Amino acid sequence: MCDSGHPHGHQAFGFLVDTSEIRALVDETRRLTLTIADAPARVEALKPAFAQLLAAEGWLPHEYASPDFTSGMGSGIGQYALYRATDGSLTLFSLVVPAGAETPVHDHLAWGLVGVYRGRQHETVYRRLDDGHDETRAVLEVSRTRAMNKGEFYSLLPPLDDIHYVKTVSEGPSVSIHLLANDTACVWRHRFEPSTGEVQAFRSGYSNAPCPPESHG
């Protein structure tokens, strides 16, 4: 995956989709970030608000729940920013994966929550066995696989369970919602090839918003 060549609108930060449901989750995230210093405890406290967003209907625009076959992510996978903090400390985005398509094996490098809003996914999570000293190589083993249905979600607390890939196993595209404590599509992360051990730096890019120039690594 690489930076998207998709045309961008004029708005890059803030509420790219402004609904009461999104504002409620962002406000609760900000409140808990200020009041709970421990990341695992903070993520646990955020679960009810995140579950409420996943259960709500009508707040996600159709265009942000549709595949993007013009993006640089490949396979029609679209990544749409819904909210981005101007300081890069928080993002909420939808990830649309067409039926039968799968993401690369990748990491996230931030705490957060990920849940299925539509469709059905199969997730494979990897455990890293090496010490990470060589930035171009990694030894991975599968630690868990699971089916994810609408409304189900999980926590991200790097380095635990931070390396994974998902595949859509429903007849139509799957849509997952991601709340993460970085500007996920614009930070340089890692793409893994478990069979060869190869690791590459990448940033996925948003389908609807540009990455700032200073994000180059």
Which segments of 66-203 are extended strands (E)? 78-84, 91-97, 105-106, 112-118, 121-128, 140-148, 153-156, 163-168, 174-180, 189-193, 198-202
Q: d(Cα 187, Cα 185) in Å, to the nearest integer?
A: 6
pLDDT for the residue 161 = 87
Instruction: Write down the architecture of domain 14-208 according to CATH.
Output: Sandwich (2.60)
CA–CA dist 143, 161 (Å, integer): 8
User: How far apart (Å, rounded) are the C-alpha atoms in residues 94 and 33?
Assistant: 22
**pLDDT for residue 187 is more than 90:** yes
pLDDT at 75: 85
How sure is the predictor about 60, in pLDDT bands with cuts at 50, 70 and 90? very high
Percent helix, strand and coil across the chain, each rounded to 5? Answer: 20, 35, 45
User: Which candidate, 153, 175, 174, places its Cα nearest to that of 51?
Assistant: 153
Q: Which amino acid is at 117?
A: Y
Walk across the sheet containing 14-15 and list its strands. 14-15, 78-84, 91-97, 174-180, 112-118, 153-156
* Peptide bond connecting 194 to the previous residue in cis, omega within 30 degrees of 0: no
- Mean pLDDT, the chain, integer: 90
